[in-house]
A and B are shown apart, each in its own frame.
Chain A
Amino acid sequence: MIKVGLIGAGKMGISHLTILGAHPDVEVVGVCETSKLVLSALEKYSSFSCYTDYQLMLEEEKPDAVFVATPTKFHFDLVKELLARNIHVFVEKPFCLSSEQGLELASLASKKNVVNQVGYHNKFIGTFKEVKKLVENGAIGEINHFLGEAYGPVVTKKKEGTWRSNPTEGGGCLMDYASHVIDLINDILSPVTACKGSILKSVYSKKVEDAVYAILELSNKTTGVLSVNWSDETYRKMSTSITINGNKGKIISDANELKVYFKENQCPTGYSKGWNVKYVTDLTEPVNFYLRGEEYSAQVDYFIKAVKGTVPNNVNNFQSAWLTDRAISIIRNQN
């Protein structure tokens, strides 16, 4: 049994806690949360040990691994302390508020040799995994353009919100929403290294951007476009997609459906010339416990396996999340 603690039982934290609670190899040894409301519900109806002070939790429960799901501005300090104590860390995305902080933690984690993972769950979605495989195998040839998109209904009217509407706390569409798309581009294609132009637009929010449009260049000199808007109420929930044009074909994928076009007969097994459509149902590995998408269970399971040493710590590690933090700052600074 891996002894796991949680810091921050908000929306994401409770989701992780539910999945951890049902995981056969996990013993949840403690939950730390500063909101009395949530904590008292957990105290009354669950059997988890509850804390308001995470240091006390670490001292008393001695977890092997800790999930950090506090608002982003607390990630750096918390993770740094966990690493100092040689505890394996899963932290929510975005990783840190600045690229410098992310780099510091990434190098500290590799020095400490503890398992480190960040919650970019899209990498565990069957369609996107298949896209990565196709691109890496050169199936669509040389890439000449990409388009990364995400739309959803987070802020659909003028209103003062939570920490998400505060630019210094990790709020805003770029950090919160666009980070998912940037992370996918980084992973599937190559890390973003330059921004040729960007628009950070407020639609309803006063202090932060609600949309991000940018022209990006990657380390391998591929160029493309980022288009993200969290104030689009024509979407029922967040919808993320990526389009990639190559000289041998084209890929259009979202979390549900993968469409691939091949110009020639020469293509990977399972595909043929012209359009091919695959559904996530064909590409998804079943999970042991399902809450809200296989990817959320799969990323937790992967982390636990990495702690047990049965898989390499090479998906969503701090290093890759830092590259995403760096891209965020490149886009912001260009603006």
Chain B
Amino acid sequence: MDRILYGDNQFFAVNHISDAKSMAQSIKFKTDEAIINTIDAARASGLNTFMCTTHDRIANICDIIRANPGKYENFKIYPCMPYAHKYANAVTELGIQGTIKQYVPGNFFGTLFKGGMAFVSKDFLKIMELLIDAEMKMFKGINTPVIFLQNVITDLLLGLGMVEVLKGFYDYIKNKYDAEPGFITMNMPRLLTMLETAGITNPIICFSMNKLNFRMSGGKGLYEETLKIRKFRAIAMQVLGGGAIPPKEALEYVCKFPNIEAILFGASSKANIENTVATIHHFDSQKVSF
């Protein structure tokens, strides 16, 4: 896994601290060209992994990548699924059943209903697998060595205690896509415990890690302790606390932890990308020399 992963929130108007910034981003990244140019700027700074939601527009980016195999030879994508707002809006409009009907491909759902409810309940994991396949379609032919479950779903399954479904995701990604499954969460220590009960060892977990204690459920102290004593592959995200912490200070904090394998960040300008990359390298090199 690369030390620095480039994220996609900035492209899709996801800004955790300002609606006005969100709108400015929507305007800036109106065209796919604007997105790919920024990705190219990130590549020029040495970033070769793009971690992104399975947003409809990513499909267009994938088309561009496939059309330029030479240029993107070593480029990797870490898909994060699902794009939750798509489903959340659909559930509001169509209800849960209607949403499954709309998004599960083919006539599978019709067949299920004919087969009766007992059949449906046996096959929830099958429905999940079909949804994963539908989300993965856009990445065909692209190198996707790690595939993530988005935090809303991870944390939903976590709170509901649905460990078998988390395990189902893990197994399916391994077997069908020959990729490493990853989990994004806002409840890292608790998730790690649940994954361990499912017999999953050394899982890839992407979680908030910042000086501010922002979105670190259970508290910063517990997170720091967990990093120190437990075994998992840690990816830190939201390191800037949504933008509330000055970058240098924020990056110094996360670079301090030897067990954080990778840092995920997003930025929409070339200057900010270059600056972040240089700052992480700076603190990393200091660590080595100590």
Tell whether A267 is near chain B: CB-to-CB under 8 Å: no
Query: Which residues of B lie under 8 Å from residue A111 when comparing CB positions?
Result: none
Among A47, A279, A290, which residue has its beta carbon within 8 angstroms of that of B17? A279
Tell me how far the C-beta of B197 lies from the nearest C-beta in chain A, rounded to whole angstroms. 13
Tell whether A40 is near chain B: CB-to-CB under 8 Å: yes
- A155-191 near B? 1/0 per residue, CB < 8 Å: 1000101101000000000000000000000000000
Judge whether A43 and B121 touch: CB under 8 Å. Answer: yes
Tell whether A237 is near chain B: CB-to-CB under 8 Å: yes
Tell whether B152 is near chain A: CB-to-CB under 8 Å: yes
Tell whether B14 is near chain A: CB-to-CB under 8 Å: yes
A40-B121 contact given A236-B13, A289-B187, CB 8 Å threshold: yes
Among A17-25, A95-103, A112-120, A138-146, the stretch that binds chain B is A17-25
Among B13, B19, B213, which residue has its beta carbon within 8 angstroms of that of A254? B19
Chain B interface helix/strand/loop/mixed? helix
Q: Which residues of B come within 8 Å of A, CB atoms?
A: 12-20, 22-23, 26, 85, 88-89, 91-98, 100, 117, 120-122, 124, 152, 155-156, 158-162, 164-165, 186-187, 190, 212-219, 241-244
Tell me how far the C-beta of A51 lies from the nearest C-beta in chain B, rounded to whole angstroms. 16
Q: Which residues of A come within 8 Å of B, CB atoms?
A: 10-11, 14, 17-22, 35-38, 40-48, 153-155, 159, 161-162, 164, 234, 236-237, 239, 241, 254, 256-257, 279-282, 284, 286-292
A236-B22 contact given A161-B94, A162-B95, A281-B242, CB 8 Å threshold: yes
Judge whether B14 and A256 touch: CB under 8 Å. Answer: no
Tell me how far the C-beta of B92 lies from the nearest C-beta in chain A, rounded to whole angstroms. 6
Query: Which residues of A lie under 8 Å from residue B215 when comparing CB positions?
Result: 290
Judge whether B93 and A290 touch: CB under 8 Å. Answer: no
Interface centre among B156, B158, B218 (most CB of A within 10 A): B156
A256-B16 contact given A38-B96, A289-B190, A290-B187, CB 8 Å threshold: yes
Among A18, A47, A281, which residue has its beta carbon within 8 angstroms of that of B155? A18
Count of CB-CB pairs between chains A and B under 8 Å? 133
Tell me how far the C-beta of B162 lies from the nearest C-beta in chain A, rounded to whole angstroms. 4
Judge whether A11 and B159 touch: CB under 8 Å. Answer: no
Query: Which residues of B lie under 8 Å from residue A17 when comparing CB positions?
Result: 159-160
Tell me how far the C-beta of A183 lies from the nearest C-beta in chain B, rounded to whole angstroms. 19
Tell me how far the C-beta of B157 lies from the nearest C-beta in chain A, rounded to whole angstroms. 8
Query: Which residues of A lie under 8 Å from residue B12 when comparing CB positions?
Result: 236
Tell me how far the C-beta of B11 lies from the nearest C-beta in chain A, rounded to whole angstroms. 12
Complex alpha-carbon distance, A44 and B157, angstroms: 13
Complex alpha-carbon distance, A271 and B2, angstroms: 43
Identify 7 residue pairs between A and B in the complex whose beta-carbon atoms are under 8 Å apart, listed by A's number: A19-B159, A38-B96, A42-B160, A44-B122, A154-B93, A236-B85, A281-B17
Among A19, A22, A282, which residue has its beta carbon within 8 angstroms of that of B244? A282
Complex alpha-carbon distance, A14 and B26, angstroms: 31
Among A164, A282, A288, A292, which residue has its beta carbon within 8 angstroms of that of B152? A292
Among B16, B94, B219, which residue has its beta carbon within 8 angstroms of that of A286? B219
Among A22, A42, A164, A280, which residue has its beta carbon within 8 angstroms of that of B92? A164
Judge whether B159 and A22 touch: CB under 8 Å. Answer: yes
Complex alpha-carbon distance, A334 and B218, angstroms: 49
Query: Which residues of A lie under 8 Å from residue B165 when comparing CB positions?
Result: 45
Complex alpha-carbon distance, A153 and B89, angstroms: 8
Query: Which residues of A lie under 8 Å from residue B218 when comparing CB positions?
Result: 288
